[in-house]
Structures are given as structure tokens and as C-alpha cells.
Structure 1
Amino acid sequence: MTATATRPAPPLVLPKTVSIVAAVVAAIPFVIHAIATFSGYFGQDDFIILYRAGNSGPFDPGYLFQDYSGHIAPGMFLLAWFITALAPLNYTIAVIPVLLMQAGASILLWRLLVRLFGHRWGLLLPYAMYTFSSLILYSTMWWAYSVQLFPLLLTMFGAFNTHLTYLRTRESKHVVTTLLWTVAGMAFYEKAALFLPLLFGFTLLLGERAPWRVWLAHGVLLAGFVALYAGLTVSRIKEGLPSGDVIVEFLRRSVVDVFLPGLFGGPWTDPAMGAAISTPPLGLRIAAAAIAVAVIAGGIVVGGRKAVLAWSLLGAYVVVDLALVIITRLPEIGPLIGNDPRYTADAVPVTVLCGAFAYSSLRLKRPAAGVLVVLLGVSATFSYLWLAPGLKFEKAKQYVATAQAALKADPSIVLYDTPVPEEIMNKWFFVDGKASRVIGLLPGPPKFDQPAENMYLLDDNGTPRKINNVRDPVVGRPGPYAKCGYAVGYDTATIPLSGRVDGRRLLRMEYYTSGKGPVTFRLGKATHEIHLNDGLHVLYLVVDGSFDRVDINRATQVDPMCVVDVRIGTPMT
């Protein structure tokens, strides 16, 4: 009997040590960001997006391709519909998909860096600039922005990876995959239109060439997207640029006060109004600018022509980012918008990649890389935790919780829809800045503006307050019948008013009848059919229009109803 030869077991392949450290560099800020994000809540645009999702279908083109303040984002609206259908106004469920996209983007970026430059300790520094970036982590605590930026970053790195695969294999299927990544990015954020010039610059930095057919395919996709975008949106480009002084101040705030400090572990300051950041101390701003100049100059010394090309690509991207703000938002808001990191956060990964190319010939040793990464990580984490409370939307969280508890205790409550505090939704949302948009998706759902004998409105804390009367009323003139006022039967009774009613108001009517049943109100062009109960009652009815009389009739042969008092005004508690 012969012995059977056995093959030795293949050696266990362990990840490169540098990749293990990179996983830690990604995991630490991810966990910190996830904890901070889960302790936050919805705010501002979040409520409008989710409210529309709750009142639309997933295959409604008008919903998916709506013009939302200049954004066409069917992917975002489809995701909003899905999480709303799954768990309305559940913040935890809402943020899980974007956190997964954040993790996926970090993985794809490291994979790209390693494929480009190999397993180098020096790559940890640009990678940490991305993963720890307070500009990205702070701004994405706002859910409405996180569902734009993280899909953009995920698809950007996906497109770069597949384009790199194409350049190395020349297989056409990878061009198709790159185009699909681009389409996915465009579905969430129109800045994915910049993938084409980024990929072209990326190809030049690699010293490669791609056939004209590749760029033609990307160009056709870009042209189709531009045509779709132009056809579905109202142009936000303002006539006439702001003054030179305003533009210079905006650029200083965006680049010197926010972007550069944010790259190097800053901004070491407080949150400001909205998603903005307070201006850092002058010394820190000067230090960040000096480091930036040194990094650019050092890259040119080390990398030569490649570094010049890399910095040029980064400069062009940042110029486009800022130019878009200058021609759309700056005329409306002013230079303070430069303190909002949302308009430059997408330039952070471009900076990281361009910096890696500029210094690609430099071999940073492990101790030096470790020290720099730790310093950057500690500083950026400190900045982020300092900023984080500014986008937790505590006021909105408390408002919704208070209203939910009250409505759960008494589901019969009918609410008069009123504006909410500006900390929850800004006044420029107008009709969308109301309580119905904020709590309208709560279980029940809550009843708004329905005819009722008892009507309430939510105060600034979300507590229902009973409406007792109306302020500054237009009143019904005295009726012809003593103790009855106006007798409303099958024939229409007309109640003339003391003045004209214009706009949205609340009608308060006192009536009594021995026969319950439907009653029809005609108020100008509007008609309301309401079921009334027998006995002595008060009716509150939300009206909106222009009229100077109230016409009432009963559609069935029942005992007449007596209307003894009509007044229309703004509600008071």
C-alpha cells in the first residue's frame, strides 16, 4: 500500500499592515460620526422631502424628478419614499442608508489609493484628511445633505476605480460600468456632472490615453443630463453678478475661513446659523493658509509637472464649486454663505487624490506618517465634536416628541396648521414651513384643518393649545330672526359679512339644530360639505379665499338650523 502524498496547506494571506491601519483610520471617525448622527434629528428641508415622499408614489415621475430648489435628485426622492414607507419620521432608519454609503465610500477610496500607489504608509495621511474631515462629517449630520454628498462620494470613487480598471485592461465593459456609476451619482446630486472632467484629468495624471469613443460616451451622457436638468428646473442663475467686494469676501470666507482650516484638522470654532461655521481665530486661519501654500509648493518641488497638473485640476474643481454659488446663491444670501461647508465639502476628496498624485514620488516613513495622522485625527475630531451640536436639531426633536405624545393621548385632536419656529423650518419655506409638514407623517395621521367643534394649534414647543376664539374678526351681520339669527333649511341662507375676507382664516360659527345631517357652505369659489350634530354647538372651519358673504343650505329635508354667530379671523388661544 502506497502512501498518498498530501499538499501543504496554502499560507494564510493576511491584509497588508498598512491596510489594517487604514481600516482603523476609517473606523474611528465613522463610529464617532455615527454616534453623533444617531443622537441628532431631522431639520429644515428634511421634513419637506419626507412629507412629499409620504404623499407620493415611488413610480411618480412628477415626484421623482421634481425641481427641488434647483436640484433634480430622483435617487434621493426614491430613497426618501422607501424609508418613509418603511418607518415614517424614524430618524434611525433614515440615517442607516447614508451611513452605509459613507462606509462604502471610505472603502472604495482606500482601494483606489492602493491600486494607484501601492501599500504605502504615506497614503494614510491623505486618507485621514478625508475620513476625519470635519467639513464632510459636520455637514452630513443634516440628513438632506447627507443623501446628496455620500452618494456622490460613493459613486465618484466607484467611477474612478472602474475607469482605472478600464485603463489597465482596455475592456469596454468597464467603460459601461463607469457610466453607470456616473448615472447613479447624477441621480442624487447634479455635481456628478463633474465626473467627466475629473476622469479626464485623472487619465492625464496617470500618463494614459483613452480612445475618443470613451470620452464621446461620457460626453453624450453629460449632454443628456444637462438637457434633462435644464428642461426640468427653473434657472437659479441670477441676473447680474454681485459686486467685486462681495465676491472677494465670499471667496475669503469659503477658502481661507472654512475650506483650508477644514483640510488641516480645523476649523477649531463654533457652529453658526444653519449649517454654517463661525470664523476661526485669525492666527489659525493664517496658519492653515501658510500650510496650504507650503503643501502646494512642496508638491511642485517633489512631483514636478505631475504636481502642477494635479494642483491645476484641484484648482479648477474648486473654482467651479465656488462659481456655482456665486451665480446662484450669493446674490440671495450674501457672503455669509461662504461659511457653509456644504459648498466645498465635495472638494475634499478631490484634494486628497490630487495631493496623493502630487506627492506620489515621496516615500513617507511609518513613524512620520503615524505622527501626522494622529495629530490630524485628534485635531479634526476635536473640531467635529465642537461643531456637531449645531446640526443635531434638538428643537425639532423636542417639538415632534411633544406633539406625538399629545396626539397619542388624544387622537381626536384637530389642528389648525400654523408655521413652526425658524429653528425647525426657516420662514422662507412659506407654505411648506408649517406643522403639517413636520408632524404630518406621525402615526394616526394627525388631523389638520378639518372642520371640528374643538380645534387646536401647536405652540412653539409642539404642545396643542385649544383655540377659543378668533382675533380681528370679520363678523356676520345680525340675522332676521330673534334668538335664531339665520334659519338654514333646504333653501340657501345668505349671511352678509361686515367686510371682505381675503386669504387663509378661521371661521367660528355658533349654531343649534334638532336635526343632525349634512350642511353645505359656499364661501366665494370654495364649497364645503360638513356633517353637523344636533343640539347646541360651535363649528370651526378653515377657509381660504376672497368673499364677503357666507351661503349655507341643508341638502336634506330636516328641521332648520339656527346660526346665531359667525366670525372669521385668525385663531387665538
Structure 2
Amino acid sequence: MMAAFALIAVQLLIRGTVAARGYFYWDDLILVARSGDHPLLSAEFLLYDHDGHLMPGAFLVAGILTRIAPLDWALPAISLVVLQALASLAVLRVLRVILGSRPTMLIPLALYLFSPLTLPSFAWWANGLNQLPLQAGLALVTAEAILLYRTGRVRHAVTGAAALVIALAFYEKSVVIPFVAFVAVALLAHTSGIRRPLRSTARACAPLWASALVILAAWAAVYFSHVASPLRTDNIDDAAGLLQHGTSLGLLPALFGGPWSWDRWPPSPPWATPPVVLVVVSWLLIVAVIVGNHLRRRRIGWVWPSVAAYALASQLAMVTTRGGDATAVEIAQTLRYVADTAVVVAIALAIIDQAPRRATHPAFRPFLSVRSRPAFTALAAVAFLAGSLWSTFTFDQRWRDNPTVDYVTTAKAELAANRDVPLLSQPVSIWVLLPVAAPYNQSSQVFGPLRDRPAFSDSTPALRMLDDDGHLVPAEVSWVRALTEGMAPGCGTRVTGDAVAVAPGVDGAIALSQPVIPWVWTAQLNYLSNRDGTIEVSMSGGPPVTVPVHSGLGTAYVRLTGGGATVDVSAVTPDLNLCFGGGPFGSVVPAQSSDAGSRAAAGDDGALPNP
């Protein structure tokens, strides 16, 4: 046991180093954004459909850590190490339950602890909050099922059911846990010589299976009432390619210490790029392992097919939920969809190791003799650990190539130093979050949980924006369209306390040079006001925005949602009188980035009078 705990300590030291050198990535920022946008214990927050995932436990952990220290990587890194420790201890426990304290237990334990198969899902916080509880759940429920089978004590059914509930709270794939546990118990019964292992397993562990069915039924009711079906129908043609890449370039090399090298195109995650020689050797090694197991052990014929079925099911789930015309096959090489297979393989190796020995054929005795086995095992262990450590090192180098680090660090400092003027929300850098993450790619969402920052508003008197490096820079409105000069003599477009916007050319409606489609736009309103007051600005199909105005000449930059041919303005303050001149209408860009030609493209000659 001391050796097992020492291996776990070494693993946590290595994984802790990877976590400490990592940072927030993609979905992590969505977790942070939602944590600052919703009450912690609300159903809207905990039961959110996150791209097909139902993960209230993960949201709860993310919400608590975000409230303690928003956008501070220290706490998420610590949470990953803690969850990894729980998963590793759970795997150790199930291996001890199967094998006792025999030294060979260290082989499947070391495979789980150091295989790069689980590394990418550990390093990515959002994925670790899914995968690590699943891995712990697989080991814990399987151990409790085995103990229930052996002892008949109902407390093992209660503990197993509780572990299943917790795992389901973090990841919907945890529905597989009872089935893995059932197969593991049945395989152990079969290797022990039980004539009807399936019937024996069903009867002996009936309290656990009955509890699991009730739990799964209740979970399914919640899942399908809150999550849209993630299944895709446009991905059948991609299945073969995804399965080939996921198995030959992902799963098998990682089981033997690979892939040794990784590639990455930010903002995508790293994916395994094993050399051809490693791919070939991995296939040869898995065949050798399976053949060697059957030469040495009896009654294990269903073990490796069960492992293969689990790995295939995991990859088919990836194909049916993530495949499609726009999906690159490299997604299968990211390993996160098959990471939990490491636990299943460790359990399978333990089941094989306790199976009865087979009489060795004379032709194989030189290779399988007791005398030669320690030297071969030591050589294989050294090769596996060396490959795994190198793969961990190369992954860490790629994982640290993360534009989010500099962007968020710089933006936090800039926002803290410039809290005087409200900011319009704008998309963050595309190197951090692509538009497909909308609305959580908005700066108001990502940085909303911060305490030291300016207010995010739909209007501001001074336009600034975060550039791609995270610096807060002066900005302007691009001339996608022009807000045209109104017809009121000496005023432009007039708005008074009792004016209501109805149509172009009528007081309160500022006409655009050309109509626009429904979208998120920014208008630069140049005005002259008789006093301080408040106006409402809106577009067709969008909500009104309340905008403060000040006495005299002024400018208000307003973020609007909607479309049409006008920007409609009405005065909220009863005795307010304003005149509006022309101005740009479009998107927010760094100052001095637009040219005079863009004004002409907008349908305006650029000669916009001031009010």
C-alpha cells in the first residue's frame, strides 16, 4: 500500500504542475460568465443545457469558486488536483477490492495514474469537472458492487447509489456506471467458476441495480426536460474517419505512453499526433497483451471484448453528438471522449490478474516463465513511464500556448485601472472565444464577475474597447450605415418630452442611410440638449435602451438590438428638448481604423452637420 500511495503522490505532483501552469480555456470562461450572471442555487444556473451537457454539480463548483475569486486560476487548479486525488484513490480502492494487496496491483494502478489518456481532460477545467467525477464514480460503484456481491451487506448498495447520484450531477455520461459495474461483477463471477454469472450478479446485487434504475429514471426525466437532444443526423459519413483517428491515433498510443507529440491550432485544444512507428507498435502491443493474457489465464474470453465495447460506445457517442460536416477528425484525437476508458482498462487488467492460471504450453515457457517475468515487467514499466512523462511534457508545452492567459491578465489590470466610464459590451478576442459561444463571448459576460471593473452598460459617453491583446483602447463606430440628418430646420431630428418615434422624417425617428438586418449594432448619437435628462433609444424588434443625456452638446454611444430603417428616440424626462445630428452606425472598432471611403459605402457623403 505504501508503494501505491507513493505512486499517487507522484501523479498528483506531476498533474499539479500541469494544472498550475495551465489557465482558463474556452468553456471555462462560459462557466465563469454564467456564474456571475445567475443566482448560485437557481435552476436556471444549475440545470442549464450546456451544449448537450447536464452538469449541475460542475456548475455549482464553478459558481462557488468564481464567487470566491473570479477569474483567478489558483482555485480551479486546486479543484482539479483535489478531484484527481479522489479519482486516483477510488481506482486504488477498486483494484484492492479485486486483487487484495498483491504487488501486481501496481501495474493497472500505474497505467491509470500516468497514462496520457486522462491528461487533456484533467488539464481543461470544464472537462475535468465532468471527467474526474465520472472516473471516480466508475471505480467507486464497481467496488461497492463487488463488495455487495461478496458480502450481501446492503450498505454497499447505499454507498454505490450515492456515488452514482454524485457522478450524474457532474456528467451525463455517468449513466454508464451501473452497466460497467454489472459487467465487472459478472466477469469476476465467471473467472471464479460461477456457472451462470449474469443471473448470479443480477440476484446478489439486486438492491444496487434496483436503486440505479430508479436513479437513472429520475435523472432521465430531469435531463430530457432541460436539455435539447444533442444527437446529430448529418455525421454518418464521418464515423469511420472519427473512429479510426480516435482509436489508432488517440486511444491505443495513449494506453502505451503515447502519443509523445501534440499539435494545436489556437483556440482549439491540443490533439495527439503520434508518429507512425508508435501507431504500428501500439497495435502490435495490444495484440500481444491480449494473446499473452489468454496464454496465461483462463476464463477471460469476455474481458477484452467488454473493454473494446466500452471504448467503441464512447467513440460512437462522440460521433453522434459531435460529428458533422464542420467537425474536424482531429477532435477524436483530443482524447477527452475516451479518457474514462483508462479506468475500465485498469479494472479489466485486475480481473485478468486474479483469474485462474492456465497450464503453459512448452513452446511459450521461455517467454512466460516466472524467472523472466520480473525483468520484462521492469523494462515495460520503464518504457511506459518514460513515454508517459515525455507525452506529459510535450502536452504541457502545447497547453501553455494559450492566448487567454495574456488576454485575461491584461484585461483585468486595464479594467481595474479604468473604472470611471461605463463600457459597451463587445465580443472578446476570437483567439479566446469564437462567436459560436455567444452570448457568453461578450466582455460583459466574461468579466462581469470581477469586482474591480467599470460598469458594463448599453450606453456610454466615451467609447472604449478591449483589443485582441486585452488593452482598453479608444474606439469609434464604423460606418456600416449613417444616421442621417433630420428635416427640422436648424435642429436635424427633434425630440421633445412628448415626442414619440413613428416613422422616418417624423420627430423622434432618425433614419438610416439604408435598412439593416436584425443584429447587435452601435449608434453614435450626436445631440444638443436643453438640460440633463433621460431618453429611450430602440430599433424594430429590439428592447429600448435607457440613455442619460447632459445639457449642451454631447455624444452618446448606444448598443442596440434590432433591425429596420430607423433608430427610434423618445424623451423620458418630460421637459427635455434635444436636437440630433448625423453620425455613424455600425460596430465598435479601434479608433482611426475606419476611412472616409467607408462613409461613402454607407450611402453618406460624410458632411454631417452638428446639432
TM-score > 0.5 by shorter chain: yes
CA spacing shift, 1:559–1:428, aligned 2, 3 Å: closer
Are positions 1:509 and 2:516 aligned together? Answer: no
1:349 to 343, 352, 358: 343
Task: Name the aligned partner's letter for residue 224 of structure 1.
Answer: A
CA spacing shift, 1:56–1:452, aligned 2, 3 Å: same
> How many Å separate the matches in 1 of 2:180 and 2:544?
58
Give the 3-state SS of the residue equivalent to 2:274 in structure 1: coil
1:54 to 21, 36, 50: 36
Taking the TM superposition and a 5 Å limit, the aligned residue runs for 1:261-410 are: 261-273=253-265, 274-305=268-299, 307-332=300-325, 333-360=327-354, 369-392=377-400, 394-410=402-418
Taking the TM superposition and a 5 Å limit, the aligned residue runs for 1:230-245 are: 230-239=224-233, 242-243=236-237
Task: Name the aligned partner's letter for residue 500 of structure 1.
Answer: P
> How many Å separate the matches in 1 of 2:99 and 2:279?
32
> How many Å separate the matches in 1 of 2:445 and 2:277?
44
Taking the TM superposition and a 5 Å limit, the aligned residue runs for 1:559-570 are: 560-570=577-587
Give the 3-state SS of the residue equivalent to 2:324 in structure 1: helix
Task: Name the aligned partner's letter for residue 308 of structure 1.
Answer: G
CA spacing shift, 1:451–1:133, aligned 2, 3 Å: same
* Deviates further, 514-523 or 317-326: 514-523
> How many Å separate the matches in 1 of 2:235 and 2:528?
63
Q: Give the structure 1 partner of residue 514 of structure 2.
A: 499
2:130 to 142, 148, 173: 148
Are positions 1:68 and 2:50 aligned together? Answer: yes
1:524 to 536, 540, 544: 540
CA spacing shift, 1:105–1:63, aligned 2, 3 Å: same
CA spacing shift, 1:553–1:104, aligned 2, 3 Å: closer
Q: Structure 1 length as normaliser, TM-score?
A: 0.90
Deviation of the 1:357 alpha carbon: 1.5
Gaps of 5+ in 1: 1-18
Gaps of 5+ in 2: 190-196, 358-369, 500-506, 592-611
CA spacing shift, 1:322–1:24, aligned 2, 3 Å: same
Taking the TM superposition and a 5 Å limit, the aligned residue runs for 1:406-555 are: 406-482=414-490, 484-492=491-499, 493-497=507-511, 498-502=513-517, 503-524=519-540, 526-555=543-572
Q: What fraction of aligned residue pairs are identical, expressed as a percent?
A: 25
CA spacing shift, 1:394–1:561, aligned 2, 3 Å: same
CA spacing shift, 1:552–1:190, aligned 2, 3 Å: closer
CA spacing shift, 1:559–1:356, aligned 2, 3 Å: closer
Superimposed CA distance per residue, residues 228-285 of structure 1 (whole angstroms, 9 cap, x where no aligned partner): 3233221122226523xx4332222111111111011111112334234243111111
Are positions 1:135 and 2:127 aligned together? Answer: no
> How many Å separate the matches in 2 of 1:554 and 1:191?
54
Q: Give the structure 2 partner of residue 10 of structure 1.
A: none
> How many Å separate the matches in 1 of 2:581 and 2:434?
41
* Deviates further, 500-509 or 202-211: 202-211
> How many Å separate the matches in 1 of 2:280 and 2:301?
23
Deviation of the 1:553 alpha carbon: 4.0
Are positions 1:88 and 2:70 aligned together? Answer: yes
Deviation of the 1:563 alpha carbon: 2.2
Give the conservation status (yes or no) of the 8 Å contact 1:128–1:376.
no
* Deviates further, 313-322 or 549-558: 549-558
> How many Å separate the matches in 2 of 1:331 and 1:181?
34
Task: Name the aligned partner's letter for residue 32 of structure 2.
Answer: L
> How many Å separate the matches in 2 of 1:559 and 1:195?
66
CA spacing shift, 1:278–1:151, aligned 2, 3 Å: closer
Q: Give the structure 2 partner of residue 169 of structure 1.
A: 151
* Deviates further, 518-527 or 230-239: 518-527
> How many Å separate the matches in 1 of 2:572 and 2:250?
66
Superimposed CA distance per residue, residues 400-424 of structure 1 (whole angstroms, 9 cap, x where no aligned partner): 1111111121112433333333431
Task: Name the aligned partner's letter for residue 322 of structure 1.
Answer: Q
Task: Name the aligned partner's letter for residue 404 of structure 1.
Answer: K
CA spacing shift, 1:522–1:63, aligned 2, 3 Å: closer
Task: Name the aligned partner's letter for residue 341 of structure 2.
Answer: A
Superimposed CA distance per residue, residues 43-89 of structure 1 (whole angstroms, 9 cap, x where no aligned partner): 11111122112222232122211211111111111111111122211
> How many Å separate the matches in 1 of 2:573 and 2:224?
54
Q: Give the structure 1 partner of residue 183 of structure 2.
A: 201
> How many Å separate the matches in 2 of 1:394 and 1:185?
30
> How many Å separate the matches in 1 of 2:402 and 2:216?
40
> How many Å separate the matches in 1 of 2:167 and 2:574?
63
Deviation of the 1:323 alpha carbon: 1.5
* Deviates further, 103-112 or 349-358: 103-112
Give the 3-state SS of the residue equivalent to 2:302 in structure 1: helix
Give the 3-state SS of the residue equivalent to 1:237 in structure 2: coil
CA spacing shift, 1:54–1:393, aligned 2, 3 Å: farther
Give the conservation status (yes or no) of the 8 Å contact 1:519–1:530.
yes
Deviation of the 1:293 alpha carbon: 0.6
Give the conservation status (yes or no) of the 8 Å contact 1:198–1:313.
no
Q: Give the structure 1 partner of residue 243 of structure 2.
A: 251
Task: Name the aligned partner's letter for residue 518 of structure 1.
Answer: T
Give the 3-state SS of the residue equivalent to 1:106 in structure 2: helix
Give the conservation status (yes or no) of the 8 Å contact 1:276–1:341.
no
Give the conservation status (yes or no) of the 8 Å contact 2:482–2:582.
no
CA spacing shift, 1:204–1:499, aligned 2, 3 Å: same
CA spacing shift, 1:113–1:213, aligned 2, 3 Å: closer
- Alignment RMSD: 2.3
Count of matched residue pairs: 551
Task: Name the aligned partner's letter for residue 112 of structure 1.
Answer: V
